[in-house]
A and B are shown apart, each in its own frame.
Chain A
Amino acid sequence: MTMDVKIIEPPKALLSALSQLYDLEQKMLKRDDLTSLHRNVGKMKDAFEELGYRIEDPQGQSYNETRVDLEASIAGSSTEDLVVTEVIKPIIRYVMRDSSGEYTKVIQRGVVVVETRIKN
């Protein structure tokens, strides 16, 4: 199943553009008056995905010491049951497809802040 393809390190400017696109989308989500732009952002994401680059939003995901797709800073004093509460940079994956399916590889680690999950 694994594709034995050596991933070429992507240009920094491309990763930066993808991170900016993520930021843009996050800012738009906070505004009710910008919904008409979502389609455009969605299409930009699709275009990047066609080139093989996928943005993954780790917000809300669980974190522990075995995750190597995130560079995390811990807020608060507890280090147990951690969850991502701030995303400084999203995870970027390179997507490859062949007849057996899809295979992805992390090419930019997400940069995040994690905190102990607040129990309801």
Chain B
Amino acid sequence: MSKTINFGIDLGTTNSLIAKFNKGTVEVFKNPVGFKETLPSLVGFRNDRILIGDQAMTYLEREPKNVIGSFKRKMGTSESFKIKSLDQSKTPIDLSALVLKELKTFIHTGETPEAVVITIPASFDMVQSNATKEAGHQAGFKQVVLLQEPIAASLAYANKTTGNELNNSQWIVYDLGGGTFDVALVRIAEGELKVIDHEGDNFLGGSDFDALIVERIIIPALEKRGRFDDLPSQLKSASGRLNKKWPVLLYAAENAKKVLSTKTAAEIEVDVVDDSDEEVSLVVNVTRSDFEAVIKEAVDATAEMLRTILTRNSLQPNDLKFVLMVGGSTYIPLVRNRIKELLGIAVNTDIDPTNAVVIGAAYYAGNKPLELTESATRATPQSQLKLKFSYNKASQETEEMFSAKVDGDVAGLSYRIVRDDGGYDSGLKKLTPRISEDLPLHPDTYNCFTLKILDEHNDKVLVVNEPIQIAQGKYSVAGQMLPDDLSLVRDNLQDGDIILDPVFTRNTILPAKAKKTVEVSRTLMHGTEDEIRIMVVEGPSSNHPSSNKSVVVLPVTAKSLKRDLLRGTEIDLTFEVSESRTLTVHAYINPSGPEFSVDSSLQFRQVDAKALAEEIGMLEEKIEQEKAEALEHENYEVVDVLTKLSGPVQELQGEAVLLSIDDVTDNKYKLEDRKRRIAEELHQATSTKRIERLRAEYVEVRDGVSEIVKESGNDIEKRQLQEIISHEHVFINTNSAQRMDEHISKLRGLQFQILMRSPDFLTGWFRSLVTKRETFNDQVQAKNLIEAGKQHIEGEDFDRLLEVNRRLFSLLPEREQESKDMRHFTGIS
């Protein structure tokens, strides 16, 4: 089978898009920053940089001599654009080529296409068409195939439908975009699609509608409420006092316009200061009919153009199959209704109007054979360039100078530096033997930049593998770093164990601050001896807590409480580590009454004798439990190691019991060290097995949940699953049992969420609850709920059954609601 072109580009007057055909489907590529499919067809020249798309858009109105748009309208003319900042001219072909090159950066598959289908308006003549082809060649495409936009849109529709319903028929493609309007008569005869006639207005589109909302609805509303002298001019003039509100209002109007496509009214919040220095705040309620009244004239003008085509071709409305709606502005109900009403032709809205043209182009490209000769295919350029960087790797500044010395032939090459977080793009710059850039730095983090050297077609000659990394803010060469993870110890109620929740990871630069919210896992009765513990330990967070060093224990005792601290109450914890490594833990409890907090500023290392004794007890149990499991699996090597640990831990237990709570010697530290070493040995002996078990469990749970999500999940749940799976390669290789546990738990949560909608599950849950009827706290209420539940099952009212189940569950005594293995060590989970 011969290869096909596959790549399609909609090179629009206002916006451009790129898509790829692959095995029967089309993917429209998105800008990797901001995820927009569209690239504004604008090119800007500023401070020796070339800016394309959104970056250029900012300067369009203020620097019209340096930012060029709508050059598509000039394709094929001898006109060129004099660029003030370059002091040279650029032709529409040059500018189109730059847009085409930029679109290549949207391709995330790593391909560099050498052939492409580019769409052109139906109105383009031979010269304009050839100019578009030339732009394609300039952008590095060896084979350029042109396709008329109405045909592309029709192909997008044809590929969505089945059968031969379009055969020997004709229809109108009505394309009302952001800034231009085109209408074309398309006919299919003997399988061949042709544009028969067309009309258009290059200065009519959705952005005009936004301006109309501001001018005719918002401004009059403001004038009624405040004192303004010539408000339109104050907003629109660059020197106007309220000029900065103009884009804000346009943006609000655009949003309202979108809302009005589906709702009958929208609100626009406006906040300005009038000429008397009074603040005018109002919410303008825009109804769909208000909006329709202001755009009706413009919409009717488009209908008139459509009518002209019919008259010119001696056609009656019923000669047409439909009017195919293309362009974002065709979402507006008035546009659809008015065309239908004025012309009596059915309106077809089956395709996504925003990307139909590029989708059609990609479908066409998917069937168009690649015709590149051997000599035309470009060999991957082998760069002989050598680069030497010079920059500070740590900085307190908001930007840092980067320079590089380039050895080799730089003729015709350019470079581009982007920050990997999507916050900075140098734009295209000419490569010279020495380059320098001021790189802006995102605060308090590592800033990673990528330098690409590009040829004249914007194809990569070289991606410099040496990363440019600059640490900003707290980072410095002499910066204090945490030597190990600091983690909070929490109860793992499900496994009856304790787990580590990392607060600060190793190498965190000090000072550092973090917050966490935990829940009280059992009720604390005020006035008793009971307590919960906020414990911070130091050591690898992937280990078991008992193998880490205790750093801080902050007890919250029931004695200090004015009332009971109910199970489920949230505690906000704030952790701060100073540069001199002092850890401060602040707990804030808000039990729906007066708020209070406890602070603890402690130097590293604190051991609580009572907690130590309990931990040793848990360690002993854990060793016995692991030993039993290893025996069951005939893993005698592990059994041997664990047996050797039993003696020392029992000895330790005896010594810990003898420690007084307020022991002032260093005995407790010694005991804690010994406990830690035993725990570390236990962890080493069992962790591989645990990780392997969790990996297998994760895969099993993931596959099971995938099945359920596929069958019964909604879009959000599908996305949640996709997100977990997309990160699995990170956590599955971390050797952190906790992270795997977390993801297994997330998957189970998702599964539970879906099951909660399943009648079988809800019925089963209800029946299981009924078996516990004797234990319910309130028998009368339980009886009524059970009766109601039975009726809901009979009446198949599962939403109500869910409610009954929840209420019955809450009537179970606390111990029943907990897992049977549940235990509390810290009292927080």
In whole angstroms, what is the CA distance A83 to B390 when docked?
Answer: 29
Most buried by B among A73, A103, A105, A111: A73
Interface stretch, picked from B401-409, B500-508, B803-811, is B500-508
| B226 in the interface (beta carbon within 8 A) | no
Q: A75-B246, A99-B506 are in contact. Are A111 and B251 (CB under 8 A)?
A: yes
Q: Which residues of A contact B722 (CB under 8 A)?
A: 8
- Least CB distance, A62 to chain B, in whole angstroms: 8
Q: Which of A46, A88, A97 contacts B251 (CB 8 A)?
A: A88
Q: Which of B414-445 contact A (CB under 8 A)?
A: 418, 420-427, 440, 442, 445
Tell me if B424 and A68 are in contact (CB < 8 A). yes
Residue-wise interface mask of B (487-526) relative to A, using a CB-CB cutoff of 8 A (1 in contact, 0 not): 0000000000000000001111000000101000000000
Residues of B within 8 A of A77 (CB): 62, 238-239
Contact residue range for chain B?
Answer: 35 or more
Q: Which residues of A from 67 to 115 have beta carbons under 8 Å from B?
A: 67-69, 71-79, 85-86, 88, 93, 97-109, 111, 113-115
Beta-carbon nearest neighbor of B45 in chain A: A65
- Interface range on chain A: under 10, 10 to 19, 20 to 34, or 35 or more? 35 or more
Q: What is the CA–CA distance of A106 and B506 in the complex, to the nearest angstrom?
A: 25
Closest residue on chain A to residue B437 by CB atoms:
A66
Contacts of A107 in B (CB 8 A): 34-35
User: A102–B507 Cα gap in the complex (Å)?
Assistant: 11
For the complex, is B51 an interface residue (Cβ under 8 Å from A)? yes
> For residue B58, which residue of chain A has the nearest CB?
A72
B508–A101 CB distance below 8 A:
yes
CB <8 Å contact, B239 and A76: yes
A-B pairs, 6 with minimum CB distance: A75-B244, A73-B247, A106-B422, A77-B238, A69-B423, A68-B425
A98 to B424, CA, bound (A): 23
Report if B311 contacts A (CB, 8 A).
no
Q: What A residues does B420 contact at CB under 8 A?
A: 2, 103, 105
The docked-state distance in angstroms from the alpha carbon of A68 to that of B398 is: 16
A38 to chain B, nearest CB (A): 13
- B445's contact among A74, A101, A109, by CB below 8 Å, is which? A101
A1-B448, A98-B730, A104-B442 known; A113 and B723 CB under 8 Å? no
Let me know if B572 is at the binding interface, CB within 8 A: yes
A26 to chain B, nearest CB (A): 11
17 contacts between A and B (CB under 8 A): A5-B727, A9-B35, A65-B46, A65-B51, A65-B59, A66-B426, A75-B243, A79-B62, A97-B505, A101-B446, A101-B505, A103-B420, A103-B446, A105-B421, A105-B422, A107-B35, A113-B244
If A106-B34, A106-B421 touch, whether A66 touches B247 (CB-CB below 8 Å) is no
Partner of A66, one of B34, B424, B505: B424
Beta-carbon contact of A106 and B33 below 8 Å: yes
Shortest CB distance B30–A (Å): 7
B245 to chain A: which residues have CB within 8 Å? 75, 86
Instruction: Find chain B residues with CB under 8 A from A88 CB.
Output: 247-248, 251
A108 to B825, CA, bound (A): 42
Given contacts A3-B730, A76-B244, A104-B442, contact A68 B422 (CB under 8 A): yes
Partner of A46, one of B46, B425, B515: B515
In the bound complex, CA of A100 to CA of B247 (Å): 41
Verify if B626 is at the interface (C-beta below 8 Å from A). no
A61 to B: closest C-beta gap in Å: 9
User: Is B44 engaged at the interface, CB distance under 8 Å to the other chain?
Assistant: yes
